[in-house]
Amino acid sequence: MIKNLYILVFALALLSCNQHEEPMANTGLTYFDLKGYFGREVIRLRNAKTKVNKMVSINGIEEHKTSLINDWDKELAIFVNADINKNSWKGSFKINSSDSVDIYTTTNKKIPIKKVSVTHQFSRVSKIEIIINNKNILFQSQDTLIYLPDQLYQIKKQQKIRFLAIKNYAVMARFIP
């Protein structure tokens, strides 16, 4: 009798442990797919063994260098991280579209990405511009990211830390054909 009870409890435990298939996540994206776009760019640039002429500036002091970028994932990570297709952000962006430009904007203070502008030419992306603002009691920064396929990418950052001077950073990399 006790043996049968153990078998019954064991059988019920096994049945309750079966894996239920989770419903599929909604893969339809609400806004422009920055993550996917830059994922494809990373592969394209890596395969093309693309070189860049890069200028880095901190508070106006510039350094120039020509190099072959080996890690495009890392190089373009700031663009990928600006993806606005997060589930919690659905419906937070206004979309203003014309024939050649799609602009996504938000005034939500909890969302650091304030604007994404995607310019199309002949149904291909010709320019992406992203504005990111971060602000808290001790820190404030504004980033402007620009990407022109096969031409350049640019990152400008202005950073203000409380009680310290404003710092300006810039990176501009021109693609070498």
- pLDDT tens for residues 11-68? 444 444 443 333 334 457 889 999 999 999 999 999 999 999 999 999 999 999 999 9
Residue ranges in the chain assigned as alpha helix (H): 2-16, 34-47, 72-75, 77-80
Prediction pTM value: 0.81
The arithmetic mean of pLDDT across residues 94-101, rounded, is: 93
Phi, psi at residue 7, to the nearest 5°? -65, -40
Tell me what the pLDDT averaged over the chain comes to.
Answer: 86
The arithmetic mean of pLDDT across residues 135-153, rounded, is: 94
The arithmetic mean of pLDDT across residues 144-159, rounded, is: 96
Helix (H) or strand (E) holding 63: strand 61-68
- Using alpha carbons only, what angle is made at residue 108 by residues 106 and 113, rounded to the nearest 5 degrees? 55
Q: Of 177 and 74, which is predicted with more confidence?
A: 74
Q: What percent of the chain shows pLDDT beyond 70?
A: 85
- pLDDT on residue 123: 85
Adjacent-strand bridge partners of 101: 119
Tokens of 129: 């511009």
pLDDT digits (tens, 9 = 90+) for 109-128: 999 999 999 999 988 999 99
